[in-house]
Amino acid sequence: PRPIRLKDYTPPAFAIDEVNLDIELDPKATKVHSRLSMRRMGDGPLRLDGEKLKLLEVRIDGEKLGANRYSVDGEHLTIFEVPEGDFTLETVTSCAPVENTALTGLYLSSDIYCTQCEAEGFRRITYYLDRPDVMSVFRTRIVADEKKVPVLLSNGNPVASGKLKGGKHFVEWHDPFRKPAYLFALVAGDLAHVEDKFTTMSGREVTLRIFVEKGNEDRCDYAMGALKRAMKWDEEAFGREYDLDIFMIVAVSAFNMGAMENKGLNVFNDKYILALPDTATDADYAAIEAIIAHEYFHNWTGNRITCRDWFQLCLKEGLTVFRDQEFTGDMRSRPVKRISDVRLLRAHQFPEDGGPLAHPVRPDSYIEINNFYTATVYEKGAELCRMIHTMVGPKRFRKGMDLYFERHDGEAATVENFLDALSDGAKIDLTQFKRWYSQSGTPEVLASGRYDAARKTYTLKMSQVCAPTPGQPMKEPYHIPVAVGLVGANGRDMKLQLDGEEKPGATTRVLHLTEREGTWRFRNVTEKPVPSLLRGFTAPVKLNAHLKERDLVFLMRHDSDSFNRWEAAQRYATGLLLSMVEARASGGTARKGTGFGEMIRDLLTAKKIDPDFVAQIIALPSEQTLAQMIGRDVDVDAIHGAREELRASIAAQTKDELLSAYERMKVDGPYRPEAEDAGRRALRNVCLSYLAVAPGKDGAALAAAQFREADNMTDSIAALTVLANIEGPERIAALDAFYKRWQKNHLVMDKWLAIQATSALPGTLDEVKRLTQHPAFTMKNPNKVRALITSFASMNQLHFHDAKGAGYAFVADKVLELDKLNPQVAARLTGAFRSWRQFGPKRRKLMVKELKRIAGTEGLSRDVYEIATKTLA
């Protein structure tokens, strides 16, 4: 397959002003009659995209075309001659939703007709100019059997409906906003719905409906509340009002990703809609709120202003992630949100940026666009927006955003359009900053400070480097905003006064590292400070500040910046763990450190605590994080062993405090998903995970008791996770009881599968293989694949990297099996092999063997081919 390149972009040769679709639903042969009002815009033939379609008829201005006037292949319909002025192109095609296992285009999810058109799914519904810069007004008439398919939905507002002969009925929808085809949606089936209202800031009443499979109506309250909060927040934070009379969400069980922002008709993976306390965890509730908000926010950043081409994907995704992060920060705990976002960035984006699949936030080429819905485009893309926000502050950022909306509403825009609007509106020069969009890789910032007691100055030096990434051997310096504070011996922040400034000012300053090196001198520094650098993680970089262990202990106790307190604790624990891993490998002795345990003790016994924050700060870095830090010849057994050893030693050191906090954090009264209660449960469950390995062997009993008594899924899952990692009768009993109780609930069964797939106990791979044959599992549903196989491949480092390669062989087999059904999900799973260079020669060889087996398979999809070959390169 040939790559598509940003530099080859040319505007479309034709505009489509109006689209009229007449769709008659049938599982095996859905008939689509399309009428396109077209206009020539430039040179070139009329070549429409279309895949897996049966062409029944073509007409221009009503005249039927003979086969000599067009050609069709597996990807295009080319019309040889078209009229010079405006004309109408009609096609009649047929497709088979029931055969569509790829879940892109029109497919069936548990008897519900559903579409997924981003990025290039519309071409599986009808012939079209399926590219985001072709924007059109859609009118959609859906016809189906009235009894079997009573609900017929599409974008916009309903304008007509009625009965037809033969037990059929129709509904016609009109979407007045011009949109690209990727935002088209159709959903139809025997659905129930819940309804609410929202009054917008200008006083318009909007009907809100959430559609679900019958019987699930009582599981939508939280989602509806989250939607209303998001609508209000977008008005207050960005001045953005909803624009149609109705906003609909549909929850389906078979879905390739989390959700999709189709205009006025968002489609969701039901995992991110359905919630009741006994079936959804606190993490599920938080994800529901965040994803509902994310999709809703796309109405302005993505739909009203869309992307000119798919290279500009970060324009809508990075910006919308930034907006949803800010929303969650306002709804819940801002520091905890920042910590969890940075955790996510480091866990997924940093390895991507440092590995064979590294690409810029705005990629310059792709083979399959579905492979570019990545952590780099989404999470790093959001960090770029956040850096601009940090540099200009909230007021100027808002001015820049207002100008962006004013200039580009109704357009298909580019990253340049966004940066120009931000630059003009927020009054900032972003010329150098733009490199963040085109250079891949994670810059490293080296910092060192020197205190001069005689002159009372503190001199901070910082430098930046960025290692080569595929296709980019050299990098130009980035514009890196670094928020800095200096902490005095009393634990308080000093007021900062830089050379050349008349008086001291704020206690946190944003310094701009724009060259390869920079020096800053602070004056009137009365004692040697401990520097707190990159506060709030103001840039997506790897910072090396050469802090001593005692400085880390100091910062984890005193830093006024919550993020850096957490960061200091993580660095301290990571340092300790790395020395333990090394000791295991070399047979030497590890560094001893009781600082982490002491911090835990102090935090747990402090008078006033923020439980959610404490839960974050006392949790140990993951095995994957440690592997990433080591970077070469990673020994997964040593990492697992060291982490377990430290966990047990901390548990022994602080058992009493852990037990007492475990008791104190118990939430009384009925379950509420709100952040305050969720924070208490989070801390209680981190305590439980330590207590499980505390001396005395009563951890399993404690977990078993919690499992029996839990009145909510958060506590139940936490206990089951502990039990699933302890060999013995409690484990089997709990897994069986859980299955018996929840076997009819497919979302809860996903949790049951994932817990078993991530167990560290020996025999887990055999268990996972066995579970692929279990009735709770099917390769046809992406949630099941992710719960069992992706969890195993990406979260069970110990067993996926089994020394004999059995884990690799199993996952490679599943990639190939899945590729025949669903290439998009198969390609994601292939990503599990991307870290092969981190391991020792034996594992490297085994992983490469499997990658080559995948890449060499005949009939491979473009999706898997691209990931496998680029990973090997």
Q: Which does 256 bind (CB under 5 to 8 A by kind): Zn ion, ligand HT7, none?
A: ligand HT7
CA–CA–CA angle 750, 753, 758 (5° rounding): 120
Q: Select from 26, 90, 118, 341 the one that contacts ligand HT7 (CB under 6 A).
A: 118
Tokens, residue 820 = 């025949």
Contact with ligand HT7 (CB under 6 A): which of 139, 179, 294, 362?
A: 294
Task: For residue 256, state whether it binds ligand HT7 (rule: CB under 6 A).
Answer: yes
Place of tokens 């910072």: 543
Residues 737-776 that bind ligand HT7 (CB under 6 A): none
Q: Name which position in 372, 373, 397, 572 contacts ligand HT7 (CB under 6 A).
A: 373
303 part of the interface to ligand HT7, by CB under 6 A: no
Site for Zn ion in 246-305 (CB under 5 A): none
Identify which of 31, 267, 20, 249 has the alpha carbon closest to the alpha carbon of residue 143. Answer: 31
260 binds, among ligand HT7, Zn ion, none (CB under 5 to 8 A by kind): ligand HT7
Under the criterion CB under 6 A, does residue 368 sit at the interface with ligand HT7? no
Q: How far is the CB of 255 from ligand HT7 (least distance, A)?
A: 6
Binding residue for ligand HT7, selected from 30, 34, 91, 116, defined by CB under 6 A: 116
788 binding ligand HT7? (CB under 6 A): no
Residue 213 interface partner, choices Zn ion, ligand HT7, none, CB cut-off 5-8 Å depending on type: none
Stretch that binds ligand HT7, among 259-267, 436-444, 744-752, 843-851 (CB under 6 A): 259-267
Helix H or strand E encompassing 652: helix 636-653
DSSP 546-576: ---HHHHHHHHHH-SSHHHHHHHHHHHHHHH
Distance of CA 370 to CAs 119, 172, 825, Å?
7, 31, 10
End-to-end CA distance of the chain: 16
Which stretch in 251-259, 544-552, 598-606, 719-727 sits in contact with ligand HT7 by CB under 6 A? Answer: 251-259
Cβ at position 378, least distance to ligand HT7 in Å: 7
Cα–Cα distance measured from residue 220 to residue 210, given in angstroms and rounded to the nearest whole number: 7
Tell me the site size for ligand HT7, rule CB under 6 A.
Answer: 13
Q: Which stretch binds ligand HT7 (CB under 6 A): 144-152, 255-263, 280-288, 359-367?
A: 255-263
Shortest distance (Å) from residue 307 CB to ligand HT7: 10
DSSP-assigned letter for residue 493: B
Which C-beta is closer to ligand HT7: that of 123 or that of 542? 123
Q: At closest approach, how far in Å is the CB of 294 from ligand HT7? A: 6
Indicate which of ligand HT7, Zn ion, none lies near residue 118 (CB less than 5 to 8 Å, by partner kind).
ligand HT7
CB of 413 to ligand HT7, least distance (A): 16
Cβ-based nearer residue to Zn ion, 317 or 850: 317
Write the CB contacts of 261 (distance below 8 Å, at least 6 apart in sequence).
Answer: 183, 294, 295, 296, 298, 299, 302, 303
Residue 783 touches ligand HT7, criterion: CB under 6 A: no
CA distance 756 to 791: 9
d(CA 190, CA 621): 46
Instruction: Give the residue, chosen from 149, 257, 391, 710, that forms a contact with ligand HT7 under the rule CB under 6 A.
Output: 257
Q: Are 487 and 461 in contact (CB under 8 A)?
A: no
Choice between 259 and 818, CB closer to ligand HT7: 259
Which of these, 115, 130, 112, lies nearest to 51 by C-alpha position? 130
Nearer to ligand HT7, 295 or 610 (CB): 295
Stated as kind and residue range, the H or E segment containing 32 is strand 30-40
Length, in residues, of the chain: 873
Kindly provide the b/e burial profile for residues 393-414, where b requires at least 16 CB atoms within 10 angstroms of the residue's own CB: eeebbbbbbbbbbebbeeebbb
* Residue 261 interacts with ligand HT7 (CB under 6 A): yes or no: yes
Q: Which is nearer to ligand HT7, 257 or 627 (CB)?
A: 257
d(CA 353, CA 443): 10
Residues within window 317-346 making contact with ligand HT7, judged by CB under 6 A: 317
For ligand HT7, which is the closer residue by CB, 316 or 681?
Answer: 316
Determine, following the binding rule CB under 6 A, whether residue 295 of this chain makes contact with ligand HT7: yes
Query: Helices marked H in 220-281 — which ranges?
Result: 221-238
| SS3 annotation, 112-140 | EEEEECCCCCHHHCCCECCCCCCCEEEEE
Point out which span in 90-98, 253-261, 468-476, 837-845 binds ligand HT7 (CB under 6 A).
Answer: 253-261
Smallest CA-to-CA distance from 533 within 457, 446, 595 is with 446
Cα 522 from Cα 452, distance rounded (Å):
10
Segment interacting with ligand HT7 (CB under 6 A) among 254-262, 475-483, 663-671, 716-724: 254-262
Task: Please give the residues from 650 up to 689 whose contact with Zn ion meets the rule CB under 5 A.
Answer: none
Question: 614: which residues sit within 8 A by CB, 6+ positions away?
Answer: 603, 604, 683
Q: Does 234 bind ligand HT7 (CB under 6 A)?
A: no
Give the residue ranges of DSSP H helices in 239-310: 282-297
Binding mask 301-330 for Zn ion (x = CB under 5 A): ----------------x--x----------
Closer residue to ligand HT7 in complex, CB, 130/295: 295
By beta carbon distance, the residue nearest ligand HT7 is 257
Question: Dihedral of the CA atoms 809, 815, 821, 827 (nearest 10)?
Answer: 180
Question: What does the DSSP 8-state code read for residue 726?
Answer: S
With H, G, I as helix, E, B as strand and everything else as coil, classify residue 471.
coil
Binders of ligand HT7 among residues 34 to 73 (CB under 6 A) are none
Are the C-beta atoms of residues 680 and 611 closer than 8 Å to each other? yes
- Peptide bond before residue 705 is cis, with ω within 30 degrees of 0: no
- Of 113-121, 239-247, 699-707, 723-731, the window that binds ligand HT7 (rule: CB under 6 A) is 113-121
709 in Cβ contact with 737 (< 8 Å):
no
734 binds, among Zn ion, ligand HT7, none (CB under 5 to 8 A by kind): none
Q: Which is nearer to Zn ion, 326 or 850 (CB)?
A: 326
Active site residue 674: no
Helix 549-558 vs helix 595-605: crossing angle, to nearest 10: 10
Can you spell out the DSSP letters for 575-603? HHHHHHHHHHHHT--PPP--HHHHHHHHH
Report how far residue 860's alpha carbon sits from residue 779's, in angstroms, rounded to the nearest whole number: 17
Question: Which DSSP state fits 674?
Answer: S
684 touches, from Zn ion, ligand HT7, none (C-beta below 5 to 8 Å by class): none
Torsions phi, psi for 115 (to 5 deg): -115, 155
In the complex, what is the shortest distance from the CB of residue 211 to ligand HT7, in angstroms, rounded to a whole number?
17
* 488: exposed, middle or buried (Cβ count in 10 Å: 0-12, 13-18, 19+): middle
Question: What is the size of the binding site for Zn ion (CB under 5 A)?
Answer: 2
Stretch touching ligand HT7 by CB under 6 A, among 257-265, 347-355, 598-606, 698-706? 257-265
Q: Any contact of residue 306 with ligand HT7 (CB under 6 A)?
A: no
- What is the closest distance, in whole angstroms, from the C-beta atom of residue 317 to Zn ion in the complex? 5
Residues 690-749 that bind Zn ion (CB under 5 A): none
Residue 210 or 319 having the CB closest to ligand HT7: 319
Residue 686 half-sphere exposure toward CB, CA atoms < 13 A: 22
For the CB of residue 258, give the shortest distance to ligand HT7 in the complex, in Å. Answer: 6
Q: Rule CB under 6 A: choose which of 19, 114, 252, 260 binds ligand HT7.
A: 260
Out of 118, 120, 213, 295, pick the active-site residue. 295
Active site residues per annotation: 295
Given the rule CB under 5 A, which residues bind Zn ion? 317, 320
Given the rule CB under 6 A, which residues bind ligand HT7? 116, 118-119, 256-257, 259-261, 294-295, 298, 317, 373
